[in-house]
């Protein structure tokens, strides 16, 4: 993807085929967009080309369980991506996923039927079903996702060639198999200039419980019922392996794309950094939000990281405001690393929240004004890991709500150095760090007071101008009245 391609195709569209690690992949993609730039296409619109055309001009990232009918009219003006998976594993995962769903989790009659059928039947019965509704799920489902409605009506012998032709318009096709998922996500990140994740967060993983013999029987039936899916999956795996052998030209293209994306990156130039903003990061789940509109990111690993664009500054303090910390994490022992070396930091509790304060020196900021930070959290042995503020059973470690940035433009350099001294000398002293926090908050409060006073002055001047205009109009009206009376 070159510079002109990025400008010409600003909207990324992710076709999420069910049970192909779609939620995990999406958690990597969404970090690069603000909340207002993302649209989850509802299942009711998954085939609607009108909905697609209406949405593409208003959002930068669209995702959902999309049919090719949705994608066809925007294929030439958007970047299409998808992931495929071993058909046997995908179908068996679908069965267990349906078994674990409440019947009332879907509003469609077809959805309720599939859930009830999976819950009442063995996996062999499920994958052997001749019910047309179930056949569409367990037989060549992935190939059919890449066909238009008219192509689906053609003889099945034409399906594979039609699907492959349609996939020619996709920017990227990843492989959701365990041995290639991380490599696929890394390749996708390189292609679009995002931060390369170390591992892909595991989300929405379906638990299974089957005997070996039953598994083998079911797997054989699924393979026999999915010849087209199996062939497409095999060919796409081979293509990915050959394309993943990156040459110098490909590396140069990746580097220029990454450079372009980093230069356009703005997060960190204003404070506070809220989690509805895009964040070049790794090791985080998709964002969560409250009814009140608060947004936070949940760490998926013990070593999440991020890039912040701090601009030209000799040094600054970063206050990471932590919404929640799971019980097993020994957060006060958290260490911060940048460009291969430790960064002065301290973690403390204030106002029923954890704060992690990091002192960033100018030599940690690169020529693009970007600072790269990675957090290393410690776990306790005595407490079971629990889920955090998320709507499912994904594993999280902390919930990050905001980042407050105090630069040398806000604080005198001497005070920043004193703050650094507090961090070093009182790393384990909550009292001292809370005092430091109060001092900075007091300064921020004073700055807010200055802004409020300036706004009050502007309002007062505006009010005076309005009163003067009103008085001028009243004088003009009085003059006209006097002139009229003289006549």
Per the CB < 8 A criterion, the answer to whether 282 and 196 are in contact is: yes
Give the residue among 10, 14, 25, 36 at the shortest CA–CA distance from 277. Answer: 36
Output the pLDDT for position 6. Answer: 40
Share of the chain above pLDDT 70, in %: 76
8 Å CB contact between 257 and 189: no
Cα gap 262→371, rounded to integer Å: 11
Q: Does one domain contain both 171 and 282?
A: no
pLDDT of residue 108: 84
Q: What is the mean pLDDT of residues 300-310?
A: 94
pLDDT grade, residue 364 (50/70/90)?
Answer: very high
179 pLDDT more than 60? yes
Distance CA 272, CA 38 (A): 21
- Assess whether 211 and 358 both reside in one domain: no
Confidence of residue 441 (pLDDT cuts 50, 70, 90): low
Look at residue 31 and tell me whether its pLDDT is greater than 80. yes
Q: Do residue 143 and residue 276 come from a single domain?
A: no
The reply to whether 245 and 293 lie within a common domain is: no
**pLDDT bucket at 471, cuts 50 / 70 / 90:** low
What is d(CA 169, CA 146) in angstroms, rounded to the nearest whole number? 11
Q: Is residue 450 in a domain?
A: no
Region of residue 128 (left: phi > 0; alpha: psi -120 to 50; beta: else): alpha
Query: Are residues 272 and 237 located together in one domain of the fold?
Result: no
* Residue 357 near residue 318 (C-beta atoms within 8 A): yes
Q: How many helices, marked H, and strands, marked E, lie in the chain?
A: 17, 17
Burial call 414-423: b when 16+ CB within 10 Å, e when fewer: ebbeebbebb
Domain containing residue 333: CATH number: 2.60.120
- Tens digits of residue pLDDT in 318-334: 999 999 898 888 898 99
Residue 453 lies in a domain: no
CA R_g for the chain: 28
Per-residue confidence band for 106, with pLDDT thresholds at 50, 70 and 90: confident
Residues 229 and 277 in one domain: no
Say if residue 271 is in the same domain as residue 235. Answer: no
The pTM of this model reads: 0.80
* pLDDT score of 42: 93
Residue 248 placed within a domain: yes
User: What is the mean pLDDT of the segment spanning 155-172?
Assistant: 96
CATH code at position 251:
3.40.50.300
Q: Decide which of 231, 257, 283 is a domain's last residue.
A: 257
How remote is the C-alpha of 442 from its chain's centroid?
34
413 and 331, same domain (yes or no): yes
Residue 454 domain-assigned (yes or no): no
Does the pLDDT value for residue 24 go beyond 80? yes
Looking at 209, 231, 257, the residue that finishes a domain is: 257
Residue 476: inside a domain = no
Which of 60-64, 208-212, 213-217, 232-236 shows the lowest mean pLDDT across its residues? 208-212
149: pLDDT strictly greater than 60: yes
DSSP state of 381: S
Look at residue 252 in the predicted model and tell me its pLDDT. 72
pLDDT tier, 371 (very low <50, low <70, confident <90, very high otherwise): very high
Asked whether residue 446 is assigned to any structural domain, the reply reads no
Range of the domain at 233: 3-257
481 vs 112 pLDDT, higher one: 112
Give yes or no for residue 391 having a pLDDT over 50.
no
431 or 470, higher pLDDT: 470
The per-residue pLDDT for 328 is 84
- Residue 349: phi and psi, rounded to 5, are -105, 135
Please count the CA atoms within 13 angstroms of the CA of 42 that sit on its side-chain side.
Answer: 6
Stronger pLDDT, 377 or 412, i.e. the higher one? 377
Please say which residue of 257, 278, 311 terminates a domain: 257
Could you tell me if 279 and 249 lie in one domain? no
Question: Are both 299 and 222 inside the same structural domain?
Answer: no
Residues 322 and 432 in one domain: yes
Does a structural domain hold residue 96? yes
Number of domains within the chain: 2
| Mean pLDDT computed over every residue of the chain | 84
pLDDT tens per residue, range 183-231: 999 999 999 999 988 777 666 555 556 677 888 999 999 999 999 999 9
9 part of a folded domain: yes
Reported as a pLDDT band with limits 50, 70 and 90, residue 369 is very high
Q: Please report the pLDDT score of residue 144 as a whole number.
A: 96
What mean pLDDT comes out for the span 471-481? Answer: 68
Q: Is the same domain home to 148 and 120? A: yes
Asked which of 170-174, 270-274, 472-476 is least confident by mean pLDDT, the reply is: 472-476
Neighbours of 174 (CB within 10 A): 24
Tell me which of 19-23, 287-291, 420-424 is least confident: 420-424
Mean pLDDT of 470-486: 66
Residue bearing the bigger pLDDT, 2 or 421: 421
Q: What confidence category does residue 250 fall into, taking pLDDT thresholds of 50, 70 and 90? A: low
Q: Cα 359 to the chain's mean position, in Å? A: 27
Is it the case that residue 424 has pLDDT exceeding 60?
A: no
Q: 297 pLDDT band (50/70/90 cuts)? A: very high
Structure tokens at 234: 């095999």
Where are any strands of DSSP class E within 227-379? 273-274, 280-282, 288-289, 295-298, 305-309, 315-325, 329-338, 341-343, 345-350, 353-361, 370-379
- Pairwise pLDDT comparison (403 vs 215), residue with the higher score: 403
């Amino acid at each position: 993807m070159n510079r002109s391609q990025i400008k010409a195709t600003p909207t990324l569209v992710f076709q999420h085929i069910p049970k192909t690690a779609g939620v995990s992949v999406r958690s990597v993609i969404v970090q690069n967009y603000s909340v207002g730039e993302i649209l989850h296409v509802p299942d009711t619109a998954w085939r609607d080309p009108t909905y697609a055309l209406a949405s593409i001009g208003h959002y930068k990232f669209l995702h959902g369980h999309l049919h090719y009918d949705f994608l066809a009219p925007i294929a030439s003006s958007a970047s299409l991506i998808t992931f495929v998976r071993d058909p046997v594993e995908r179908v068996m995962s679908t069965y267990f996923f349906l078994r674990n769903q409440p019947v009332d989790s879907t509003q469609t009659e077809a959805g309720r039927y599939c859930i009830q059928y999976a819950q009442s039947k063995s996996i062999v019965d499920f994958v052997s079903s001749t019910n047309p509704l179930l056949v569409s799920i367990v037989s060549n489902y992935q190939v059919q996702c890449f066909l238009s409605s008219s192509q689906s009506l053609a003889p099945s012998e034409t399906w594979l060639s039609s699907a492959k032709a349609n996939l020619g318009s996709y920017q990227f096709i990843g492989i959701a198999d365990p041995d290639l998922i991380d490599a696929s996500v890394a390749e996708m990140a390189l292609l679009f200039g995002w931060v390369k994740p170390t591992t892909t967060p595991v989300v929405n993983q379906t638990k299974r419980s089957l005997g070996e013999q039953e598994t083998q029987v079911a797997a054989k039936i699924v393979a026999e019922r999915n010849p087209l899916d199996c062939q497409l999956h095999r060919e796409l795996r081979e293509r990915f392996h050959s394309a993943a052998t990156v040459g110098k030209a490909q590396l140069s293209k990746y580097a220029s794309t990454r450079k372009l994306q980093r230069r356009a990156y703005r997060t960190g130039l204003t404070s506070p950094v809220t989690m509805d903003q895009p964040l070049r990061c790794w090791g985080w789940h998709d964002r969560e939000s409250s009814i009140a509109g608060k947004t936070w990111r949940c760490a998926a690993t013990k070593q999440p990281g991020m890039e912040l664009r701090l601009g030209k500054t000799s040094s600054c303090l970063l206050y990471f405001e932590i919404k929640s910390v799971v019980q097993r994490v020994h957060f006060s022992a958290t260490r911060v690393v940048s460009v291969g070396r430790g960064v002065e930091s301290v973690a403390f509790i204030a106002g029923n929240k954890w704060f992690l304060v990091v002192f960033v020196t100018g030599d940690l900021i690169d020529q693009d004004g970007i600072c790269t930070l990675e957090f290393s959290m410690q776990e306790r042995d005595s407490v079971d890991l629990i889920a955090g503020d998320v709507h499912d059973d994904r594993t999280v470690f902390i919930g990050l709500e905001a980042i407050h940035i105090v630069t040398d433009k806000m604080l005198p350099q001497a005070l920043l150095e004193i703050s650094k001294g507090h961090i070093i000398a009182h790393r384990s002293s909550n009292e001292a760090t809370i005092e430091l926090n109060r001092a900075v908050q007091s300064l921020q409060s004073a700055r807010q007071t200055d802004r409020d006073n300036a706004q009050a002055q502007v309002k007062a001047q505006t009010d005076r101008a309005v009163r003067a205009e009103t008085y001028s109009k009243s004088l003009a009206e009085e003059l006209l009245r006097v002139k009229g009376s003289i006549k």
